[in-house]
Chain A
Amino acid sequence: MKQLSKKKPFDLFLCVFTWLCAGTTFLVLVFIISHIITRGLPYLKPSIFALKYNSENVSLFPALISTFILVVLSLLIAVPIGVFSAIYLVEYAKRGSRLVKVVRVTAETLSGIPSIVYGLFGMLFFVIRLEWGMSILSGAFTLSIMILPLIMRTTEESLKAVPDSYREGAFGLGAGKLRTVFYIVLPSASPGILAGIILSVGRIVGETAALLYTAGSIARIPTTPMASARTLAIHMYALSSEGLYTGQAYATAVVLLAMVIGINLLSEYLANKIVK
């Protein structure tokens, strides 16, 4: 307090205003989370996790399973491609090669495209042109393009963080390039890569606009990849726009928030691991 009273009025004003702004940001988050949790928890009854959805139990369980399936499928497509392209960019491409520049620019473009545009593209290409219909598969392919730049960037950064001495050591002991990449570089970069993958799980879990017209919104556990299904986020959107199940929408929001918070903590933990 002594320090504060010493400041000139203008400096004091700036200082207080900065604290206020940061405080506002923080309070907004706390308010959103506490509001949703306090309203949603009473509705988290066992019936909301019933195996089948009907208008009586408004179960979110099928949506939970569909979300899980969609996450796995999207990662199966996007992770190998994303990691491999990062390997190309960091380990194989020549410095300043034109291809690298073009790949960087396109990846940047991809990360700026809004999800509704992905949704439109997914509908035009996967649903209509490839005739996959509204299905988990169409949704997974659409989302895998969406998360590709995120996986590429995080993998690239963690590969770059691996010291060159590791590679030189491996080469010196007679390992080939491929062996060096898979047995030395990738394992040392894996916490960072995992952190990126987990962040993209967060994007998939929260996505709505890109899925509405690609995966559809049928509230059933999908039996084949060609079946339409709704994820948790879509489930929540459907409930809140129907306006009849506000309580259940709160409960779904609680589950979504819990997943997002868990995902963030996990990726934070892994990201801290590489720094050490």
Chain B
Amino acid sequence: MTTSTNSGKHREQIMHIVFTLSALTAIVAVGLICVFLFAGGVPAMLEIGVLKFLLGKDWSPTDTPASFEIFPMIIASIYVTTGAILFGVPIGIFTAAFMAKICPKRLYAFLKPTISLLAGIPSVVYGFFGMVVLVPLVRTWFGGNGSSMLTASLLLGIMILPTVIGIAETSLRAVPEELYEGAVALGASHERAVFFIVIPAAKSGVMAAVVLGIGRAIGETMAVKMVAGNQALLRMPKEFLKGLRTLTANVVIEMGYAEGLHRDALVATGVVLFVFILLINLVFSLLNRRSAL
């Protein structure tokens, strides 16, 4: 009897340690990712010159002397993300309002799985769809060769919809029913109560949805690469029918054959992207904390 309880105690202790170690894995993983990315990218940045790398306009890795400057890609990422937000956020928020407050229950049971399916479609399928449908569409309607800032923004706008809808809907549902009822009791119509009382009350949750959408859009790689044209040139917003290359596309296009400083410069591109994402995550968790209060 004593031996069995003893071994039981041992087992408890061992498993307690195993559980704790497992919980530490996430921390170790983030640590490793930071260490390896920064160790791979920062020396290259220093060698090229941090300001030159970040703010120079010339990316020509195969020239002699080669030039590694990623300002056009940073701007391109910002353009297509802004475009995606312009397309995706209004539709996303209205759809979220529809799902949370307007949609008949029967329709909801059907619509909800549809939205999560939209989130489940692989980005390479989106990219392919963009290539065979959106690119020709933009070419015939707007001119240019179709692989452009506009096409990438449109496609990303579709891709961030489920993210924006999901989080915005949750935060709209979290608004206390009294606010809505109060507005209706004071004579507001259903629509007015939803759009002028409930949505403003869920402000920080809706903002969090937008921020997460930004994170999705800026980090998307394959779909953007397949429709954006990928010229590493600095574009102006009015050149929205011309091609451009985002940070993510830059990494995925050239990593296959890059060597030496070129490869390290691509890792450094990844570092810049990573820092962007960390900032976005920070803003997101701050907003979440505020909506939790």
Measured CB to CB, the nearest residue on chain B to A19 is B98
Measured CB to CB, the nearest residue on chain A to B102 is A18
Residue of B30, B116, B161, B165 touching A109 (CB-CB under 8 A): B30
Q: Per-residue CB proximity of B113-145 to A under 8 Å, as 1/0?
A: 111111011111111110111000000000000
In the bound complex, CA of A93 to CA of B120 (Å): 33
Q: How far is the CB of A178 from chain B (nearest CB, A)?
A: 5
A36-B125, A88-B23 given; A178·B117 CB < 8 A: no
Could you tell me which residues of chain B, from 200 to 216, have a CB within 8 Å of some CB in chain A? 212, 215
In the bound complex, CA of A264 to CA of B162 (Å): 14
- At the interface with chain A, which of B53-61, B62-70, B175-183, B248-256? B248-256
Q: Is residue A145 contacting chain B, with contact meaning CB distance below 8 A?
A: yes
Contact status A176-B26, CB under 8 Å: no
In the bound complex, CA of A256 to CA of B281 (Å): 30
In the bound complex, CA of A207 to CA of B218 (Å): 17
Measured CB to CB, the nearest residue on chain B to A29 is B118
Among B18, B25, B126, chain A packs the most CB atoms within 10 A around the CB of B25
Contact status A88-B221, CB under 8 Å: no
- Interface residue tally on B, bucketed by range: 35 or more
Q: Is residue A213 contacting chain B, with contact meaning CB distance below 8 A?
A: yes
In the bound complex, CA of A240 to CA of B97 (Å): 37
Contact status B30-A253, CB under 8 Å: no
Instruction: List residues of A whose CB falls within 8 A of some B CB.
Output: 7-8, 10-11, 14-15, 17-22, 24-26, 28-29, 32, 35-36, 80-82, 84-85, 87-89, 91-93, 99, 102-103, 105-110, 112-121, 123-125, 129, 145, 148-149, 152, 176-178, 202, 205-209, 212-213, 233-234, 236-237, 240-241, 246, 249, 253, 256-257, 260-261, 263-265, 268
What would 24 A/B residue contacts be, using CB atoms closer than 8 Å? A17-B94, A18-B97, A21-B91, A25-B118, A28-B118, A28-B158, A32-B125, A36-B125, A88-B22, A112-B284, A117-B37, A120-B37, A121-B37, A148-B26, A149-B26, A178-B15, A208-B221, A233-B122, A237-B127, A241-B226, A246-B132, A260-B122, A263-B120, A264-B116
Instruction: List residues of B whose CB falls within 8 A of some A CB.
Output: 8, 11-12, 15-16, 18-20, 22-27, 29-30, 32-33, 36-37, 40, 90-92, 94-95, 97-99, 102-103, 111, 113-118, 120-129, 131-133, 158, 161, 165, 189-192, 195, 212, 215, 218-222, 226, 248, 251-252, 255-256, 266-267, 270, 273-274, 277-278, 280-281, 284-285
